[in-house]
Structure 1
Amino acid sequence: MELQDLKSFIEVAVHKSFTKAAAHSYLTQPSLSKAVKKLEEELQVTLFDRSTRHLHLTDAGKIVFQHGQKVLATLNELNVHLDELREITSGEIKIGIPPLIGTLFFPKIASDFNKQYPKVSLELIEHGAKLIGSLIENGEIDLGIVVLPANEEKFNIYPFIQDEFVLYIQEDHKLAGRNSVSLHELKDERFIIFSEDFTLHDYVKDACKKAGFTPAISYQSSQWDLIIELVSS
């Protein structure tokens, strides 16, 4: 069934005249007549009672008219939803965020985003930065927030914040009163760091090796609040 034939039939049914339908739809009367005849042959029914001066729908015509209107309404609704999606006014976005960054930044990001795009839902995927990179590369998430550096050949990268990397120690530690500490002074300390899925895991180990030692790691975790509690205790 051709959609245009169905539209032509509905035009004629609404105006109850091929002449009036032709004037309204800017199609010729023969074109409308041909479309209706084609539809009748395809459905193997008579759509109009042509025995009187004015056209009247047959019982079959009434059924086709009702369902045809529903079809056109559904198609119009489909176009509206697609237009909204193309304009990014509705849909879903999957964002990969490391737990630490998610806790610090995501509530603000989500709030601002919701004000601008209230019909777009955000699905938060919490993983370490290294795994987030893989998820983006495989198309499993739409975007991710990671710790730099990242592969600029594979991804479009947009830095949005720069922060200081600091040493976190228990308040009674012998180095607690210092304004600064060199990495080399930590060669005999035991480290509690993020797990291997996190870019910060490699960052700490590489920095220590550049300072001349391999860090002694006593515990690894993906939960930053747990790491803080472990250091504190």
Structure 2
Amino acid sequence: MELRQLRIFVEVAKHKSITKAAESMHISQPALSKAIMALEEELGMILIIRTNKTSDLTDAGKVVLEYALKMNVLQDEMKRTLNDMTNLTRGQVTIGLPPFIGSLFFPKVMAKFHHAYPNIELNITEYGGARVVKSIEEGEFELGVAVLPIDEQQFQVYPIVEEEMKLLVYKHHRLASRSKVDLKELKDEEFIFYHEEFALNKIMRNYFIEAGFEPKILFKSSQWDLMTEMVAENLGITILPQSICNRAIKKDIKIIDLKQTILWSLVVITKRDRYTSNATRTFIDFILKESL
């Protein structure tokens, strides 16, 4: 059994497609299929059910995937450790970044970091906050950016941003003249809400439930600019962090304080029991120094 075979298998499982996996790994489809068949032959089990449209895992395939992910993480850790031992100036940082956060804070920080450390590559993947946390746990990324609360027994947490959530309504909304609004007053409103894979979805739902109601959700999005545009068209209301509100200042939107103090706390996280490369530690130190 070769580690390359396991990496190919993980990629097929990720994409649920031999064709897409081959494109992602920049190898031919026949070569990829041959590697999977060789792995199945060695293990004496069928790992993937192949159809015209998808490639799903068998029960045996799910077991192999679990161990393959662990082996891939260990191999990556070994490479990073050896790389650090040679004191090379080159390195790579794998980052999971929610789209909400990436567009707000990170372009300038990443540009500064690149100028300061031009030989360290930043490999960024955009996922929702909840998926970022899961991907850090599984070893897909070395570090990620997430929203508190986070299980600090599993993750090392580095606070970077904390700001209040604000209510956004249409300029002629019944609450537009108010300077402060209680969440209970929003019971009958229709919300432009966050997609389920974003941490804010669960966080704000919990606040609404504590206020005595389940929010009426008209539309879900992962793009803050679309959410604010819909509010400007009087399609519903939304609640967003202060930094997003600062970018969403439009003549058709009123930004209102909430009586409840709801904090949006951003943190950088790494897995506690996993090796952190010099490149990643350097990037974390740089972020903290820049004080997003």
Please report the TM-score for the alignment, with normalisation by the length of structure 2: 0.50
In structure 1, the partner of 2:126 is 126
Shift of 1:89: 2.5
In structure 2, the partner of 1:5 is none
Q: Aligned ranges for residues 88-103 of structure 1 at < 5 Å? A: 89-103=89-103
Q: Which amino acid aligns with 2:125?
A: I
Q: Which runs of 5+ in 1 are unaligned?
A: 1-81
Instruction: Give per-residue Cα distances to partners, 1:38-83, cap 9 Å, x unaligned.
Output: xxxxxxxxxxxxxxxxxxxxxxxxxxxxxxxxxxxxxxxxxxxx76
Q: Aligned ranges for residues 166-181 of structure 1 at < 5 Å? A: 166-181=166-181
Q: Aligned ranges for residues 196-215 of structure 1 at < 5 Å? A: 196-215=196-215
Shift of 1:87: 4.0
Are 1:94 and 1:143, in contact at CA under 8 Å, matched by a contact in 2?
yes
- Partners of 2:93 and 2:214 lie apart in 1 by 40
Are 1:131 and 1:197, in contact at CA under 8 Å, matched by a contact in 2?
yes
- Partners of 1:197 and 1:117 lie apart in 2 by 32
- Partners of 1:136 and 1:83 lie apart in 2 by 21
Figure out how many residues of one structure are paired with residues of the other and give that number: 152
In structure 1, the partner of 2:149 is 149
Q: When you count strand as a share of all residues, which structure comes out higher?
A: 2
Q: Which amino acid aligns with 1:106?
A: F
Q: Which amino acid aligns with 2:207?
A: A
- Partners of 1:159 and 1:118 lie apart in 2 by 25
Shift of 1:84: 7.1
SS at match of 1:164: strand
Q: Are positions 1:113 and 2:113 aligned together?
A: yes
Instruction: Give per-residue Cα distances to partners, 1:6-43, cap 9 Å, x unaligned.
Output: xxxxxxxxxxxxxxxxxxxxxxxxxxxxxxxxxxxxxx
Shift of 1:112: 2.1
Shift of 1:155: 0.6
Q: Which amino acid aligns with 2:209?
A: K
Q: Which runs of 5+ in 2 are unaligned?
A: 1-81, 234-292
CA shift in 2, pair 1:182/1:85, >3 Å: farther
- Partners of 1:164 and 1:90 lie apart in 2 by 38
Q: Which amino acid aligns with 2:118?
A: P
In structure 1, the partner of 2:28 is none
In structure 1, the partner of 2:165 is 165
Shift of 1:116: 2.2
- Partners of 2:150 and 2:180 lie apart in 1 by 28
- Partners of 1:165 and 1:137 lie apart in 2 by 28
CA shift in 2, pair 1:174/1:117, >3 Å: same
- Partners of 2:189 and 2:220 lie apart in 1 by 15
Shift of 1:201: 0.3
- Partners of 1:132 and 1:178 lie apart in 2 by 37
- Partners of 1:154 and 1:196 lie apart in 2 by 22
Which structure has the bigger radius of gyration? 1
